[in-house]
Amino acid sequence: MPPSTPDPIKLSIFNHLFASVAEEMGVTLGRTGYSPNIKERRDYSCAVFLGDGRMLAQAAHIPVHLGAMPESVRAAIEACEPFHPGDVIILNDPYLGGTHLPDITLVSPVFFDDDLAFFVASRAHHADIGGMSPGSMPVATEIYQEGIIIPPVRLVRAGELQEDLLALILRNSRTPEERQGDLAAQRAAHRIGERRLGELIEQYGLAEVQAQAEGLLTYAEQLIRAEIRTIPDGAYVFRDMLDDSGITNDPLPVQVTVTVAGDQITVDFAGTADAAAGPMNAVRAIASSAVMYVLRTLASDDLPMNAGVFAPVDIVVPAGSLLDPGPPHAVAGGNVETSQRVVDVLFGALAQALPDRVPAASQGTMNNFSLGGIHPGTGQVFAYYETIAGGAGAGPHQDGASAVQVHMTNTANTPIEALEMALPIRVERFGIRTGSGGAGHYRGGDGLVRTVTFLAPARVTILSERRRRGPYGLAGGSSGTPGRNLHIGLDGVETQLPGKVSLDVQPGEQIRIETPGGGGWGQ
């Protein structure tokens, strides 16, 4: 074997070693998290980066986090270098590397002797970081209404926690104890990541570890290029709609042209709507994240998800559009809802080239449900946020799964016992929305029905999609059934709510959310 040829066995070993660092970081974050959003729903992600900011490995956490996290690391490097051992950078500004404000990212340098060898990073969705409504997912018209904005700054400087900065962040949350606990959990995860990388370097030497890291990036690029070559050359166009902006009722088109030429692929979002008046705007990193997720789903299981995967992909996003709006546009819904529609249009385009590999549209929404108020038992402020599962699209070889989180989210369900213990609510119903999946040779998965009774006054916000148009079917399959949001008064009268809405509820009133079914496949 020539000396320049990587040892495939050693490369595989290091691939799993690097990935295991991110996985163990995630386990630590989940176990030490304070809020139900972290310890139950597991709405967080962890990754490892090279010292120059290129992504090296990630855990199988939240796709919309992981594809966008390189932007956060680059922003931290640009704003805060030179680094010192023990530094921890914090940020959430969507226009400086973040996604939406509740997603707080921490970035830590990892030194070996005096060399900056790696970075470790975590992103966690914090259930409240201020803003105009509990849960920090409001139907906003500008980002200042969505919560505290944190540019890349040092939360920990050379090992010393910056107590004044932490106090400022906590003072802007309705639930400061939760924020403090979850941020501490993120820092604990980083310490685990730093320790494990240090152990790797001690065992193999810095030069060997970095050489294997470079080899993995090259290997990932070779694999993704080979995968792109299986897609027939051509230009494939697809267009779908978001229901509305939350402020106006006009639909918002999302359009893509996917051009394949050999082992190169260009993804152009020309034809997408201009930046919206409401919170459905998505920063450019979200579009990039969705593109990388879709390519990852088409590739083999042994593809390392690192910076090498980005090499043969050119992503074009029109400035000023829904996918690159610029400040101060609101963006809370772009991360969770618009990201799903970007996936839908990408799969719709690729289905023209790969009809035997691409599924119909899944529910296309995360059904974001946030609430808050004063707990009558404790007198303390409570705030909660969750996403609700729905139907997966049917594929060319099988029915779609029912009641699952799809595509850009990968969170777990919060157990009802945990919800009712922490919040003044009662879950009346949580079950399958039978028959909501689209018909076809293979049927789309069914959505869910979740009915909640409030035991105290509360402010509720829902950000949801696919309420006007169901997820599309493919190859003659039918669309899935659109979702519905309902308010049920004390008199039992049901009132259908918009897809994006904030309202006050009183004790005894109910909210019922019926999530969309997936599209069907085939006649």
Query: Which structural domain, as residue segments, surrounds residue 477?
Result: 359-523
448: left (phi over 0), alpha (psi -120 to 50) or beta: beta
Mean pLDDT of 342-354: 98
Q: ω into residue 328 within 30 of 0, thus cis?
A: yes
Domain-located, residue 41: yes
Give DSSP secondary structure letters for 73-86: HHHHHHHHPSP-TT
Does 329 map to a domain? no
**pLDDT beyond 90 at 411:** no
Q: How many domains does the chain have?
A: 2
Closest CA to 304 of 1, 47, 4, 72: 47
Which has the closest alpha carbon to 99: 69, 73, 78, 129?
69
* 6 has a pLDDT exceeding 80: no
Q: Please write the tens of the pLDDT for every residue from 367-400.
A: 999 999 999 999 999 999 999 999 999 999 999 9
pLDDT at 5 (0 to 100) = 67
In a domain, 61, yes or no: yes
User: Predicted confidence band at 1 (pLDDT cuts at 50, 70, 90)?
Assistant: very low
Instruction: With a cut of 90, say whether residue 62 has pLDDT above it.
Output: no
> Span 442-455, mean pLDDT?
98
Q: Which residues contact 82 (CB under 8 A, 6 or more apart)?
A: none
Burial class (CB in 10 A: 0-12, 13-18, 19+), 232: exposed
Q: Is 278 within the bounds of a domain?
A: no
Q: Answer yes or no: do 368 and 517 share one domain.
A: yes
307 located within any domain: no
What is the pLDDT confidence band of residue 248, given thresholds at 50, 70 and 90? Answer: very high
Of the pLDDT bands very low, low, confident and very high (cuts 50, 70, 90), residue 479 is very high
pLDDT digits (tens, 9 = 90+) for 200-222: 999 999 999 999 999 999 999 99
Q: Which of 190, 220, 250 is the last residue of a domain?
A: 220
Judge contact between 269 and 287, C-beta under 8 A.
yes
Q: Is residue 212 in a domain?
A: yes
Please state the pTM of the whole predicted model: 0.95
pLDDT at 431: 97
Q: Summarize pLDDT for 92-105 with one digit per residue, the tens.
A: 999 998 999 999 99
| Confidence check: pLDDT of 2 > 50 | no
User: Which of 181, 204, 220 is where one domain is finished?
Assistant: 220
Establish if 489 belongs to a structural domain.
yes
Among candidate residues 175, 193, 220, the one where a domain is terminated: 220
Give the relative orientation of helices 206-229 and 8-32 as an angle to the nearest 10 degrees.
Answer: 100
| 346 assigned to some structural domain | no
For range 426-449, the mean pLDDT: 98
Q: How confident is the model at residue 3 (pLDDT cuts 50, 70, 90)?
A: very low
For Cα atoms 464, 470, 471, give the angle at the middle one, nearest 5 degrees: 95
